[in-house]
Structure 1
Amino acid sequence: MYLTQGLHRGVQQRPDEVMTVFGQRRRTFTEVAERVARLAGALRGLGVGRGDRVAILAFNSDRYHEYLFAVPWADAVLNPVNIRWSAEEIAYCLRDSGTRVLFVDDAFAAMVPALREAVPELATVIHLGEGPGPEGSLGYEELIDGADPVDDVRRGGAELAGLFYTGGTTGSPKGVMLSHANLQVSWLGSAATGNLCPPGARVLHAAPLFHLAGLAAWGAAVLVTGSHVFIPAFEPVATLSAIAEHRITDALLVPTMIQLLVDHPALHRHDLGSMRNVLYGASPILQAVLERAMKAFPSARFTQAYGMTELSPVATLLGPDDHDRGFLRSAGRAGSHSEVRVVGPDGNPLPAGEVGEIAVRGGHVMQGYWNKPEETAAAIRDGWMHTGDGGYLDEEGYLYVVDRLKDMIVTGGENVYSAEVENALGRHPAVAQCAVIGVPDPDWGERVHAVVVLHPGETLTVEELRAHVKESIAGYKAPRSLEIVDGMPLSGAGKILKRELRAKHWSGEDRQIR
């Protein structure tokens, strides 16, 4: 199994049909394959060799799609960078991975000088935007035009497909190593439900492609030689317009996107009757929002996916029939590629209905964390990926996620690790002690909330705190609310009891997670 397999099949079976749509650009399967072969040739000419990491920092586009094929075609490894990270975080990811080639678009071109300074190993920047490129960069189209095509090496199987960086509980991102087989097992296992991307699907990519959820939707479409419609980023009207204009049949939307769509006044001005399948995931969804979405897309069937980057990313699926049966609070049952159980502190399975840690096993479990053997050993034990999420299974094998054992917050579909934010908060001169928790939020699912003890005589506002935090980490991780207290609740060992900090915010909720 290899990522370029679907492209070769598409050229064979649908050579002259449209594979990609981006703005006014439309390219057939044959055209995409020819460009990918030339882009791979250009990478080879730049010295990219077997297993080298090639990064991209860009919004969604047809060129991002070509990058996803060309890098493995050239025998190299993908490194999609989180577009919401700060320059400091991006630089860490590039240094840690040993990346020497970076693709950037117009939106991130201004960051290149700072990245070059922070990452001396960064030898080549390829500009795939429409405007003038950063100084010293190479033009994307010029590279393709000037390169000879090369044969696909068909890098695949257990070979590394990509490094996908996710937030770290210790404050620095971790590179999740996923093989070609990892990704394809997850995609094929999900597709085996029959609820995702049928042959001939027209798939809208509004979720970012750097995110494993967005990439999974891309992979599902590649598997069935579907057509891909790209918009740079999610925006309600642009998304609604794209669905109507291109007669979209399938889309991956995180819960925050769904809520913004169904609550938008322009919703009923667009014909959404082409939609057949909506896949949602990356964070839990409010039942009321889901019910509104099912009315807004009456012809669509809804499927929820639960998982994580380390699982490539799908572990369980809640299919359309499960939605119809009223299992809306469940995360579904193990996919055909996945084995799921709930374990106690000793690692042994717990009986149905008893809350413990969710553990997952299968061919989709990551190879490990890049250059982090201790973290890998802690996460994968006896072949089981210990997710850090708390939940329980019912008698029919439906999984219910009730809390996070890790101090992770999911806000607008993005993972935020409290330790990372606390590290940034702790650098503020007014802060004596701090804790970061997730609290319910009607728009974002969860909101990053800071609880702070100040040094005597100091004052602090949430605006000051946000400005300080955004100097070192991405803006979406900065606390949106602030609570100043005289002291923290502590355990006998002196550890802050976050469950007590969360209690007053989550009282009345049926689970400590959104």
Structure 2
Amino acid sequence: MDIGLSLSRNARRIPNKTAIIYEGETYSYERFNNEVNKLAHGLLKQGVKKGDKIAFMMKNSDKFMIVYYAIMKVGAIAVPVNFRLTINEVAYILDDCDASIVFFDGDYTSLINYATAENEKIYMKVAIDNNAFDDQLAYEEILTDNIIDPNVIVDESDDVEILYTSGTTGYPKGALFDHHRVLHVVFNTSMNMKINPGDNLLHVAPLFHSAQLNLFMVTGTYLGCTQVIHQSFEPEKVLEAIEKYKISIFFSVPTMYNFLLQVPNKEKYDLSSVTRCGYGAAPMPVAVLEQTIELFGTDQFYNMCGQTEGGPGAGIFLLPEEHKYKMGAGGKASLNTEVRVVDDNGNDILPGQVGEFIIQSEMVMKRYYNKPEETKKTLKNGWLYTGDLATIDEDGYITLVDRKKDMIISGGENVYSTEIEQVLYKYPKLLESAVIGLPDPTWGEKVVAIIVPKKGEKIDHQDLKDFCRKFLAGYKVPVEFIEEVEIPRNASGKVLKYKMREALNSGKKINA
């Protein structure tokens, strides 16, 4: 079994069923498969071979899915690229992954031109909307009329994706997966969330990110679901789409849920078709979660806590029924997964202690591409060391408290930002926040909170500090609040704490 074959089978099994809806354009499974095959044969005609790396820097769209599945059909390796990266970051990824071809939206024509100026490995650059430079091809130029499945044998053990990490602590690393690992993500997700062919999915989080890509896009296509695609996240349009297309499964990152809550007259939208909601990629404040459950009118929420290196199906799940007595926890091991929380010597910690969250699963990456030393540090004795700090309670539920590199040590005490952020989100005038540690001559590090007020609200810093004291020990209460218009995040919704620390330590503004 392989990922491309799942689409071919659905084209034969349910040819007339709606597969994709994008900006008024509708594709049946037969049409979707035909368009994929036209491009797949075009790639073969251009000399693509099994194992070639094909990068694509594209926003969510119908073409994103077509390009991805054409790569699957020819046995190549897909390398989705974050479209919010800088020229230098894109150049680094394209060189690091050994890409020979890159697809890109027309908006990135110039960026790709500069990012590939010194890259001799790339022999073909394809502009999706035909906005190509002289040395670039237009998408239409490489299409063929051949709608037959290409005669390429793809095995489950063949490499399929290089997914670059979010880069929350520096340059991203490419996690390598084969078809077997990604297919196990599909099986896990469909069983955990009870996804079935009758479900309608909405893609609003970026498809280049491992969660939206593997947990939902590949799963949705494998099962034969109908998938609605939004190019970007616009809160009101999301609520409109849920009502219009009777979306039954919705996944988003916590930040997006928070912004849905800010939509005026949000209660007027009929969201009753949604029977399951997933959240992940970043901690979900309990206060935001409680309001979101009320907005959607269902308590069927799943906390999906993993990371790129885990596919991201390997990790922990908090199931809907467990939210009733463990809300705020990460959960227990997902199917086909083993998880532990260990100390620096690899021993399991006791309840109340803090250790590193580690994972063992068939969904975990094979290795970091081109990074043997980084791989050795991360994959040890069959376990993926995530770099996430966590606790485990008496019932075996795991809760992530911080990244190792983000933990604050103030006056010799360990301070975990997630605990403080959960309290800050209870403050009614606050929209979002992030807690970091900054150097302090007396305490080593001081606790600093970057805060964003809700629209039209003013926050009294002393009042906010007094509010925190009701819930936190004195050494955990932020000594300083810095107001910003937004919290810096990557396209996956993860907070870039290292960038905030760098900016403030050098005397610069965070969002300069």
TM-score of the pair, normalised by structure 2: 0.79
Residues 398-413 of structure 1 mapped to structure 2, 5 A cutoff = 398-407=397-406
2:331 maps to 332
| C-alpha contact (below 8 Å) 2:41/2:144 kept by paired residues | no
Distance 2:204 2:436 in 1: 24
Query: Which sits farther off after the overlay, 297-306 or 36-45?
Result: 297-306
Q: Which amino acid aligns with 1:72?
A: M
| Equivalent residue for 1:198, pick from 174, 185, 196 | 196
| C-alpha contact (below 8 Å) 1:303/1:317 kept by paired residues | yes
Deviations 1:368-399 (A, max 9, x none): 11111111111111101011111122233211
Distance 1:222 1:391 in 2: 34
Residues 4-15 of structure 1 mapped to structure 2, 5 A cutoff = 4-15=4-15
Question: What's the secondary structure of 1:100's corresponding residue?
Answer: strand
Identify if the C-alpha distance between structure 1 residues 267 and 169 changes in structure 2 by more than 3 Å, giving closer, same or farther: closer
| C-alpha contact (below 8 Å) 1:217/1:251 kept by paired residues | no
Deviations 1:15-35 (A, max 9, x none): 111101101210110111111
Q: Shift of the alpha carbon at 1:146? A: 5.0
% identity of equivalent residues: 29
1:346 maps to 345
2:74 maps to 74
Q: Shift of the alpha carbon at 1:269? A: 3.3
Identify if the C-alpha distance between structure 1 residues 360 and 133 changes in structure 2 by more than 3 Å, giving closer, same or farther: same
Q: Which amino acid aligns with 1:4?
A: G
Q: Shift of the alpha carbon at 1:106? A: 2.5
| C-alpha contact (below 8 Å) 1:448/1:481 kept by paired residues | no
Distance 1:250 1:191 in 2: 11
Deviations 1:214-235 (A, max 9, x none): 1122122123210111010111
Identify if the C-alpha distance between structure 1 residues 336 and 59 changes in structure 2 by more than 3 Å, giving closer, same or farther: same
Distance 1:408 1:141 in 2: 50
2:237 maps to 238
Question: What's the secondary structure of 1:232's corresponding residue?
Answer: coil
2:381 maps to 382
Q: Shift of the alpha carbon at 1:206? A: 0.3
Distance 2:186 2:49 in 1: 27
1:207 and 2:205 matched: yes
| C-alpha contact (below 8 Å) 1:19/1:27 kept by paired residues | yes
1:61 maps to 61
Q: Shift of the alpha carbon at 1:148? A: 6.5
| C-alpha contact (below 8 Å) 2:35/2:147 kept by paired residues | no
Residues 172-321 of structure 1 mapped to structure 2, 5 A cutoff = 172-193=171-192, 195-215=193-213, 216-299=215-298, 301-314=300-313, 315-321=315-321
Distance 2:53 2:349 in 1: 41
Distance 1:77 1:444 in 2: 37
Identify if the C-alpha distance between structure 1 residues 475 and 292 changes in structure 2 by more than 3 Å, giving closer, same or farther: closer
Residues 15-94 of structure 1 mapped to structure 2, 5 A cutoff = 15-94=15-94
Identify if the C-alpha distance between structure 1 residues 156 and 291 changes in structure 2 by more than 3 Å, giving closer, same or farther: farther
2:414 maps to none
Q: Shift of the alpha carbon at 1:166? A: 1.5
Distance 1:374 1:444 in 2: 37
| C-alpha contact (below 8 Å) 1:9/1:225 kept by paired residues | no
1:135 maps to 134
Q: Which amino acid aligns with 2:500?
A: P
Distance 1:72 1:50 in 2: 10
Q: Shift of the alpha carbon at 1:133? A: 3.1
Question: What's the secondary structure of 2:143's corresponding residue?
Answer: helix
Q: Shift of the alpha carbon at 1:169? A: 8.1
Query: Which sits farther off after the overlay, 346-355 or 288-297?
Result: 346-355
1:479 and 2:500 matched: yes
Distance 1:338 1:373 in 2: 24
Distance 1:3 1:316 in 2: 24
1:112 and 2:112 matched: yes
Q: Shift of the alpha carbon at 1:445? A: 4.9
Q: Which amino acid aligns with 1:189?
A: N
2:121 maps to 121
1:446 and 2:445 matched: no
Query: Which sits farther off after the overlay, 136-145 or 201-210?
Result: 136-145
Distance 1:55 1:481 in 2: 30
Q: Shift of the alpha carbon at 1:191? A: 2.2
Identify if the C-alpha distance between structure 1 residues 148 and 261 changes in structure 2 by more than 3 Å, giving closer, same or farther: closer
Distance 1:146 1:137 in 2: 21
Question: What's the secondary structure of 1:326's corresponding residue?
Answer: helix
Distance 1:408 1:209 in 2: 30
Deviations 1:1-47 (A, max 9, x none): 42124313322331111101101210110111111112111111111
Distance 1:183 1:199 in 2: 19
Distance 2:379 2:203 in 1: 32
Distance 2:153 2:432 in 1: 41
| C-alpha contact (below 8 Å) 2:355/2:389 kept by paired residues | yes
Q: Which amino acid aligns with 1:202?
A: N
TM-score of the pair, normalised by structure 1: 0.79
Identify if the C-alpha distance between structure 1 residues 339 and 4 changes in structure 2 by more than 3 Å, giving closer, same or farther: same
Identify if the C-alpha distance between structure 1 residues 227 and 365 changes in structure 2 by more than 3 Å, giving closer, same or farther: same
Structure 1's unaligned 5+ residue stretches are 410-436, 454-461, 487-514
Identify if the C-alpha distance between structure 1 residues 152 and 297 changes in structure 2 by more than 3 Å, giving closer, same or farther: farther
Identify if the C-alpha distance between structure 1 residues 169 and 109 changes in structure 2 by more than 3 Å, giving closer, same or farther: closer
Question: What's the secondary structure of 2:71's corresponding residue?
Answer: helix
Identify if the C-alpha distance between structure 1 residues 179 and 408 changes in structure 2 by more than 3 Å, giving closer, same or farther: farther
Q: Which amino acid aligns with 1:394?
A: D
Deviations 1:142-174 (A, max 9, x none): 432455645253524222111111255884321
| C-alpha contact (below 8 Å) 1:447/1:479 kept by paired residues | no
2:478 maps to none
Query: Which sits farther off after the overlay, 112-121 or 327-336?
Result: 112-121
Q: Shift of the alpha carbon at 1:451? A: 6.0
